Homo-oligomer: A and B are copies of this chain.
Amino acid sequence: MRVYLAGPDVFMPDPLDRAAALKAVCRRHGLTGVSPLDALADEPSDWAALAEARRIALRNEAHIRSCVALIANLTPFRGPSADAGTVFEVGFMRALGRPVFGWSNDPRLFADRTQAFLNGFARCTEAGWRDGEDMLLEDFALRDNLMIDGAVLASGGALFVADPPAQGRWSDLSAFEACVAALATALGQRG
């Protein structure tokens, strides 16, 4: 069964090696990992006229539609939340009604990460913590924005978190493997 592997892993220095490593874990659990970097078997010929970024976006959407589930690397990326492209894809798959699983190598809760990101530039008000622009900090003891955690849980998925040392932030695959194992079990039980 095909599973889409969303994440900022495509930005790593060796994105093809990384995709191969993620796919090898999937294979060990009886699943076929689909990378955003994979070619599309039946790419429409009229996409050739589009700019590269447009083609990549359409290709990823087609990959997601071709998969029975999605696994997202939700490790925070340049801010308190996960990578924007990854979050987009989580929302996309959630609308399709299929399982979304997530993993992260940052064990902190979203509110704590946001506080750390703001680096002291937050103040406590009666309505909750606010940043320097008076914008509220979401604080529901979740892993990321409530749409993400909510979608994962409502879809029948789960979130897995690891706490590797800093140098393992993008390489450690223990939470990913736990995620793949749980998805394989869930898909097996569904039949």
* A contact residues vs B (CB 8 Å cutoff): 8, 10-13, 51-54, 56-58, 60-61, 64, 77-85, 87-96, 114, 117-118, 127, 130-131, 133-136, 138, 140, 142, 144-151, 153-154, 169-170
Do the beta carbons of B153 and A54 come within 8 Å of each other?
yes
**Main SS class of interface, A:** helix
**How often does this chain occur in the complex, in copies?**
2
Assess A88 versus B8: contact at CB under 8 Å? Given A145-B83, A169-B133. Answer: no
Besides the known contacts A57-B154, A78-B118, 18 further A-B residue pairs in the complex with CB atoms under 8 A apart: A13-B134, A52-B140, A54-B153, A57-B149, A61-B151, A78-B117, A79-B80, A81-B83, A82-B84, A84-B144, A85-B147, A87-B88, A88-B88, A88-B151, A89-B147, A91-B92, A91-B94, A133-B170
Is B149 a contact of A53 with CB atoms below 8 Å?
yes
Chain B CB within 10 A, most for which of A51, A56, A88, A92: A88
CA distance A169 to B145 in the complex (A): 22
Q: Which B residues touch A89, using CB under 8 A? A: 91, 147
